[in-house]
Amino acid sequence: MIQNLTDLSRKLIKGTLKSADLVQETLARIADPAGQGCVVFLRTYAEAAMAQADWIDAARAKGIALPPFAGVPLAIKDLFDVKGEVTTAGSRVLDEQAAAEADAVIVQRLRAAGFVIVGKNNMTEFAYSGLGINAHFGTPRNPHDKTAHRIPGGSSSGAAVAVAEGMVPAAIGTDTGGSCRIPAAFCGVVGFKPTSTRVPKDGTVPLSKSLDCIGPFANSVSDCAVLDSILSGGTGEDVDSFPEGGLRLAVLDGYVTEHLDEAVGSAYQKMLTRLSNRGVRLMPLTIAELAELPKINSKGGLVGAEAYSWHKSYLETRSEFYDPWVRERFSAGRSQSADDYIRTVEARARIRALVARKTEAFDALILPTVQIVAPTMESLADPAKSAATNLLCLRNTAVGNFLDLPAISIPCHEEGGLPVGAMLMGRTGGDRHLLSIARGLEGTIRGR
């Protein structure tokens, strides 16, 4: 069931919908034995959520002023602290950690806006993969193929599936190399990655402090804009639609299109034709320097070094609790030298400045979110194939993190086909402007 945050809020305020009914329906969908809520969610807060919903309904009946989204259910990734419980990050490694003493800042902001947090979503262990596979708690099935177990994308796998299957109207994830946008593309929803410093990360288990971002999954750009406002300290404002006519989009090619599979290529080209027919000015742009990224990151890059620094003590004392594949990837970070790390930082600064110059004449950039459709779990049984596919999943989205550009994935596939995402990227710090452009283009990108 597709639900819009603003519509739900309006119905709750008018009294045509009760929060208790809405939250109860949400929890019922999650608990449905015919569904996969037990894999999509690592824990639910049924009792607390219903108590909050009942209180909200009673307060409304008394005319007490409430926050704008009071009573709307929401889910969060298992990376965010909730006071009084252990944040496990989709792993067994942190089981013996002390409980969080306070909610993460973003959890505080969501609660202050009135959202009812119904549970924590499954994810790739410690957010370290774009596939969405979790060896400890199971891997959610991509909801768009009922015959084969296709991956949901990662690392925010459960958040994307929860929204795609209508369990919740929206969810909050993180994005270090594509973790909000890859699963959004694979599952057919909208996923937004902000500029890295836009949303505070206090109370969030880190992967890479240089690259980590916190962003929403929803059914529309409008809902992502509302949540971006709240997460960044606002009150839930939407954005106006930027007019399509005369909009200048740089259509990136080369590095970001050289491995396109047939389904993605076809859907993407049809989407570009729709944009052109609506008066959008599309100009091809090759940024040759992007091809340097695999070499720059060949020793693990910023993620490898920063993740190893955080995990070093756990790798020494609780190594056996990691998924072996995840443990191996974290352990590889120890081979980086200070010189390697500094060279990566310098290369990043150089390429960011170059890209800023090359793209200053454009309103936004557009490219496929992922160059392939979601593969099956069976096709990833071979470790080498799994590793190669992971890199391919991250290939385009990681560009946005490396350059620290806000980016959003919007579905562009034809109805009945496996989901394909088109990604818009803006300028560093220009998050609201990008969301305005995305809102203006959303209907055309989707083919509506």
* Cβ(251)–Cβ(366) below 8 Å: yes
No. of helices (H) and no. of strands (E), the chain? 16, 11
CB-count exposure of residue 399 (10 Å: 0-12, 13-18, 19+): buried
Give 64's contacts (C-beta < 8 A, 6+ positions apart): none
**Which residues carry out catalysis?**
77, 155, 179
CB-count exposure of residue 35 (10 Å: 0-12, 13-18, 19+): middle
CA angle 196, 202, 203 (to 5 degrees): 125
DSSP state of 80: B
Question: Cβ–Cβ contacts within 10 Å for residue 101, how many?
Answer: 9
DSSP 139-186: -PPPTT-SSS-B---SSSHHHHHHHHTTSSSEEEEEESSSTTHHHHHH
CA angle 102, 108, 112 (to 5 degrees): 140
Tokens 């924590």 found at:
120
Q: End-to-end distance of the chain based on CA atoms, in angstroms?
A: 19
DSSP state of 242: P
Nearest alpha carbon to residue 285 among 248, 253, 255, 249: 253
